[in-house]
Each structure stands twice: as C-alpha cells, then as structure tokens.
Amino acid sequence: MRWLAVACSVALAGCILTAGPDYEAPEIATPAAYSQPAAMPAGTAETAQWWLGYGDPELDSLVGQALADNLDIAAAEARLSEARALVGEADSVGGPTLDIGSSIEAERVIDRERRSNKQRTGTTGFGSSNDNGSSLEGAAEAGLLFSWVPDLFGGQRRGIEAAEAELRARGLLRDDLARTTVADVVRRYLEIRRDETQLDLIEASLDLQRQTLDLVSRRYQAGLASQLDVSRAEAQVSATQALRGPLRQNLAAARSALAVLTGRQPGTQEIAAAADIPRYQGGPPLGLPRDLLRARPDVQAAEAVLARATAEIGVAEAELYPMLSIPGNLTWAISGLGSGEVIEALIATLALGLDIPLFDSGGRRARVAAAEARSQEALFLYRATLLDALGEVEVALATLVAAQDRRDDLQAAADASARAATQAEQLYTQGLTGFLDVLDAQRTLLDNHQDLAEAEAAVSLGIADLYSAVGAPVTKGDVT
C-alpha cells in the first residue's frame, strides 16, 4: 500500500505537466468584402436551405432524397462512427484495467508405499485390477489482474485531444460532402431543365420551318419560287432536327448522374415535367469573407486537422519522459487437491515500474520533429483551403454577374430576332425579299432563343455555385 501511495503521488505530480503545445486557432486575415457586389435577386429568405429559393417542389424533393440516400454521405457517416469509437478507445487508454485469470494443473503421483508392499507379497500386478499404484493431485488458481499506466506527462490526454479533433474533422467533412452533393443535385436538375427547354425550342422552330417549307413548295408549284429555295428549306429543317441528338445525349447523362446522387440506379429516377427553367427568387444572405471561416465545412475541417496535428506533437513528446506502470494481482490458490491435504492461500502482489528513456539513437526526438513538421503542413493546408474558398466565391460572383448581363443582352436580341423573322416571312410572301433572308431570320431566331435558354440556366447555375462557395449550410449534423 505504501508503494501504491508513492505511485499515486508521482502520478498526480506528473499530471501537472502536459507535453506538447496547447492548440490555439491561428489568426488569418481575410478581405473586408468581396471584390464585387453580389448580384442576387431582390428579396431574401430566412431559411438556410438556399435551394428553396428556386420555388420548385421537384427540386426540393430531389435534394431531400440525396441528403437521405446518397451513398457517399452514408460512407462518410460510417467514417464518423469509426472516429467516435476511436475517441472512446483513446479515452480508455489512461484508465486502469482489471482482468480475471484462472489456471488448473494436475499431476500423477506414484504411491511408493503401496508399491513396496506389493513387491513384498510377490504381487506382480499381472491379472490384477487397474490399480497402478498412482494417484492424481491438482492445484487451481483464480484471481484479478490489475494494471495501470498513469498519464505522467499528458501523452494520453494529448491522444484524446487528437482523437476528438479527428472526430470533428470527419463530421465536418461529412457536412462538406453534403454541401457539394446538394450543389451537384441542383446543377444536374437545372441542366435537365435547360436541355428540355432547348428541345422544346427546337420543336417550335421545326414547326415554323416546316410551315416555311410547305409555303415554298406551294410557291414552287405555282412557279413563284425556285427549286433552290425548296432545297434550302429542306436543308434547314434537317439541320435543325440534327440539333436534338446532342441534347438528348446530355439529358441522359444528367438524369443518370442525378440518379446516382440520390442513391438510385441510373435509368430509374423519375423527374416530373416542368414548363421552364427555374428562376431564383431569393435566399439567405451571402455573408462576408470572414464568414467563410465558420461557414465552409471544409475550412473548419482543415482547422480540425491542424488541431489534431498539434495534439500529436504532445503524444510524441511524452515519449521523451519517464513512464510509470503499476501492475498487480490478487490470487486465490488451492493446492493438494486429490491428496487429502488441501491448502488454500490468498496472495496479493503490487509492483511499481518506472521506464526512463536514456538512449534510442534519436528515434524519439525524430518522431517529435516529424509531428511538428506535420503540424506546419496542416497549418499551410488550412490557409490554402481558406484561400481556395475565397477564390471560389470570387469566381462564382464574377460568373454570375457575367451570366446576368449576357441574359439581359440575349433577351433583347431574341425579341428583335422574333420581329425580324415575322417581317422577313411577310416580305417574302409579298415577293419583296429573297428566301435567303427568311432562312437567315429563322436561323437567327432559333440561335438567339437557344442562347437565351442557356443564359437563363447559367444564371440559375451561377446562384447554385455561389451558395455552395459561401458554404450555405444544408444540414446540421452531430459531430460529437
């Protein structure tokens, strides 16, 4: 008991010291504002679920499916569960252990007295009973085995800190995966609506071009137009029909990707028809550059990795100092079983071991240096992750502004080309212009409407990219 008291005193004294540096969040400067104002629709919504701003129930349903059934997110949940279990393992390292041990032994002992008596009476043992002049004696032990390695210099505590930081990192990486998954679902959905809109525009143009072909054919039969005009009209129809193939291919690819994102097999995802491309009505505030430090899960995860690397310096440094171990056992022993003389004993032992590192050719020091280098690497990666996030937001803002300007210009061009197409057809019917003017006006009308649909989609896609870049939350998971 005196040894135990001494060991506890040493352990408590050692607990005052903790190897390695304490983690402190680094100060990282961020711009006061983004380089250009956010070109967002008027009006904002208080909800953090930014995709609700599209006002599309089908999209809302698809996002919900992805958050619930995406297999990559499910795998991230499993990694989070593993990290949670590893925290429990790290927490158990510093505590005492208690096991139960038992053993049974038996040996055969020859009864020499009986054997000598048989020899004096002339008994040889042949044809006698199975008594061979021996007996079995045994012994049994059962006890409690105790072991404790006090955390003298905080290495075990640093190990717990490292495990908890890894748990935070994995939880944040799961949230970041949810962030990018939601953005991918929105992108694929908007691409589907864009391609469907463009296919509808092609069908509308084909109807107009077939009417023109019919008009030219009747004028040719009446001797008012040439065969060349008929051939040109036929070529225009065929060329427009050929535009459908690539769009259908893009639609199949987007539907397949969307099915995978929502945890479905490709070809099984049903998407209800829609009239046009969803236009964004407004969402949560975008925030400022400094908000990325707590808004972007990948930035927070990078900081958690830095915290883990800092704690691991303490784990490595603690190996430079002495280690105290206290093994012991309490044993109940029984011997002499089968001999008639049974002896019972209760034995208690307690030892005290002190491992003092003297010389290892620099191996422990090298592990400390390696841990410090990993901490420096984690700091640089944390800063790089923040810079990447800032760059994504700036690019998303510039892309959105450009897309909005292009959409406005193309809207004006589409309106003008619609008027030009109508005027060209009227003039051709009156014989005041050539057929090439009609074909050119119709081709321009189709191109402008196709470009306008693409620009509308680009604006909606740009908003999705912007909200993803600023780290608008999509789920509030528990990372502890």
Among 108, 102, 101, 100, smallest CA distance to 138 is for 108
Per-residue pLDDT tens over the stretch 435-465: 788 888 888 888 888 888 889 999 999 999 9
pLDDT of res. 476: 46
Q: Is 461 exposed, middle or buried (0-12, 13-18, 19+ CB in 10 A)?
A: buried
pLDDT band at 298 (very low <50, low <70, confident <90, very high): very high
Maximum average pLDDT range among 33-42, 84-93, 149-158, 167-176: 167-176
State the helix-helix crossing angle for 227-242 and 244-261, rounded to 10 degrees: 10
Q: In the predicted model, is pLDDT for residue 107 greater than 70?
A: no
Percent of the chain with pLDDT over 70: 76
Per-residue pLDDT tens over the stretch 117-129: 555 555 444 444 4
Per-residue pLDDT tens over the stretch 45-76: 556 689 998 988 999 999 999 999 999 999 99
Among 455, 446, 390, 380, smallest CA distance to 418 is for 446
Report CA-CA distances (Å) from 426 to 429, 439, 442.
Answer: 5, 13, 13
pLDDT of res. 83: 87
Top-confidence residue, 179 or 117: 179
- Antiparallel, parallel or unpaired: β 353-355 and 323-337: antiparallel
Range in 33-37, 74-78, 143-147 with the lowest mean pLDDT: 143-147
Q: In the predicted model, is pLDDT for residue 478 greater than 60?
A: no
Q: In the predicted model, is pLDDT for residue 30 greater than 90?
A: no
Per-residue pLDDT tens over the stretch 377-398: 999 999 999 999 999 999 999 9
pLDDT of res. 274: 73
What's the chain's average pLDDT? 81
pLDDT of res. 39: 64
pLDDT of res. 321: 78
Global pTM exceeds 0.75: yes
Q: In the predicted model, is pLDDT for residue 269 greater than 80?
A: no
Percent of the chain with pLDDT over 90: 31
Q: In the predicted model, is pLDDT for residue 109 greater than 80?
A: no
Q: In the predicted model, is pLDDT for residue 339 greater than 70?
A: no
Q: Residues with Cβ < 8 Å from 378, sequence gap 6 or more?
A: 302, 305, 306, 308, 309, 310
Range in 10-24, 84-98, 113-127, 227-241 with the lowest mean pLDDT: 113-127
The 10 Å CB-count burial string (b at 16+, else e) for 178-213 is: bbebbbbbbbbbbbbbbbbbbbebbeebbebbeebb
Q: In the predicted model, is pLDDT for residue 182 greater than 90?
A: yes
21-94+155-321+366-470, CATH topology level: Outer membrane efflux proteins (OEP) (1.20.1600)
pLDDT of res. 68: 93
pLDDT of res. 428: 83
Domain boundaries, the chain: 21-94+155-321+366-470
pLDDT band at 351 (very low <50, low <70, confident <90, very high): low
Q: In the predicted model, is pLDDT for residue 110 greater than 50?
A: yes
Q: In the predicted model, is pLDDT for residue 90 greater than 50?
A: yes
